[in-house]
Structure 1
Amino acid sequence: MEIKNVSQANNFSLFCWNIANPSITRAGRQAEWLRKRPEDIMVLTETKQSEGCIFLERYFQAYGYNVVFPKPEKKEFGVIIVSKHPLGSSSFSDYVDFLRSRVASTKLSLSSDELEIIGIYVPSRDSSHEKIDKKKRFLKSLSNALETAPRPSRRIFCGDLNVLEPNHVPHYPFFEEWEYDFYCNLAKYQLKDAFRHLHPSIQEYSWVGRTGDGYRYDHCF
């Protein structure tokens, strides 16, 4: 595989996917499928310091890709960023003071500027106080990081955010205002929902539950 500077490419593309902490067998199948994809960058969420995820890291490194994988602690989850292009360092994740492993950040050199890429895996929750508090604290930490970290002129903020847009169809009463507020407040940081920008009225889903209900949890801003 040829590693090149993005300035040499006519187009730049990114693919975001929740890989669900695969077993090593499933990770092997995922790796083969992912390597055939045309995107320049792949942001893989719901990773762990597990055999399957470490296999994916080493697999792509062996094929010449650049990989960013902040290792999560024991039972925690994280994000892997895989790139066909050289990557630089980003300090964004240093500004996240809670569950930092759920954030992977890096920078890509463009012809005249830099592009910061931030991959996120927000905790899911049920109705328990513990999980509600965990998700609230993480979203607050992300918001604080967006407020205080150096702001590049170009930034992609993406991943499995486990939040829905306020006018999501169907509407689920389970979600609360603080979750919708996080989605809406991203606009303050010049972050725009790319899918909704391109498709103002289409209803699509990135995850479907056992009951057949669809949710657009995965976003790229």
Structure 2
Amino acid sequence: MTDDVMQGLLFGSSHDVVSDDVAEREVRLLTLNVQGSPATRRDDILEWLYGTEHNVLVLTEVRVNDSGNRLIQELESSGFQAVRVPAGPDDRYRSVIATKGYEVQPVKTNDSTPRLAIARLATHFGPLDVVGLYSVTNGMSVDSSTARREFQKRILETLTEHRTAHSGTPLLITGDLNVLEPGHQPVTDDFEEHDYAFYSGLLGLGLVDAYRHIHPQGTDLSWYGPMGGQRLDHMLIDESLSHRLADCGYTHSVRTRRISDHSAMTALLK
């Protein structure tokens, strides 16, 4: 454990972070794929996150190792409550939901994957179930397609069961879903029918694409590779909350500064 981590655990973080009282009037939500959260970039990730002054952080591709654990410890030492699912010996990545200023409780599902986490927040407009999801990456192979399809089927079944069991609580799903919306521009052959069906299936839970709600003709992309960019990171919100969505978009500085290979996605609920 580094001296900085120990200092934070004993005395609290020295970082300026969002005030607890913001939660009394706004949900400031940010999702970011932290690209494995290696030790070499951990401080940069934290400094950037704190500087955004968001009070709900959904972090995906958090590595299940010492560096990933220390990232979570740093968040907790700064006053955030972190919700995540225990990882097994074969798990490599997890999703983490870190909140500040809220009463929050983890929500269990029948699926044990740490790539899926659900936190119930007591917001100023009532309870809200925030789902953090890091879906299986498109590895451009037959095996990858099979693994992705099976994972998507499990997750959709799990969230459908959750929706049925908690029908009175609004739902918000966000993270690196590793799929594209139908009609994605630019057109690509990298994804298959089951990928688009997964995105549509999530919307079928009574959700709307927050980015599309605010930017019907938006052209933002959240990840770039050698062959171009794709909008892989999404935020899907309960239809009943669409009137509270004051803003939603992508923040590209975290990617252009090479803190992550993904842009962050943000939303404001009032």
3-state SS of 1:169 partner = coil
Report what 1:69 is aligned to.
Answer: 84
3-state SS of 2:208 partner = coil
- Verify the 8 A CA contact 1:115 1:152 in the aligned structure 2: no
The structure whose residues are more often strand, as a share, is: 2
Report what 1:158 is aligned to.
Answer: 174
Report what 2:20 is aligned to.
Answer: 3
Report what 2:122 is aligned to.
Answer: 109
TM-score, normalisation: structure 1: 0.89
Report what 2:241 is aligned to.
Answer: none
Structure 1 residues 214 and 174, CA gap change in structure 2 (3 angstroms): same
Distance 1:127 1:63 in 2: 39
- Verify the 8 A CA contact 1:47 1:77 in the aligned structure 2: yes
Distance 1:70 1:35 in 2: 23
> How far did residue 181 of structure 1 move?
0.9
More relative contact order, 1 or 2 (CA 8 Å, 6+ apart): 2
Report what 1:135 is aligned to.
Answer: 148
- Verify the 8 A CA contact 1:68 1:82 in the aligned structure 2: yes
> How far did residue 5 of structure 1 move?
8.1
Distance 1:23 1:197 in 2: 34
3-state SS of 2:136 partner = coil
3-state SS of 1:192 partner = strand
TM-score, normalisation: structure 2: 0.74
Distance 1:124 1:37 in 2: 27
- Verify the 8 A CA contact 2:83 2:106 in the aligned structure 1: no
* Residue 148 (structure 1) aligned to one of 157, 161, 167: 161
- Verify the 8 A CA contact 1:96 1:144 in the aligned structure 2: no
> How far did residue 88 of structure 1 move?
2.8
Question: Residue type of the partner of 1:3?
Answer: D
3-state SS of 2:195 partner = helix
* Residue 205 (structure 1) aligned to one of 221, 226, 232: 221
* Residue 190 (structure 2) aligned to one of 168, 174, 180: 174
Q: CA RMSD in A?
A: 1.8
> Which ranges of 4 or more aligned residues in structure 1 deviate by more than 4 Å?
none
Tell whether 2:82 aligns with 1:82: no
* Residue 204 (structure 2) aligned to one of 188, 207, 218: 188
- 1:43-66 per-position Cα deviation (integer Å, ceiling 9, x unaligned): 110012222211111111111111
Report what 1:44 is aligned to.
Answer: 59
- Verify the 8 A CA contact 1:23 1:51 in the aligned structure 2: no
Structure 1 residues 94 and 60, CA gap change in structure 2 (3 angstroms): same
- Verify the 8 A CA contact 2:221 2:230 in the aligned structure 1: yes
> How far did residue 130 of structure 1 move?
2.4
Q: Which runs of 5+ in 2 are unaligned?
A: 1-16, 237-270
Say which is worse superposed, 151-160 or 39-48, in terms of deviation: 151-160
Question: Residue type of the partner of 1:198?
Answer: I
- Verify the 8 A CA contact 1:72 1:102 in the aligned structure 2: no
Distance 1:105 1:32 in 2: 25
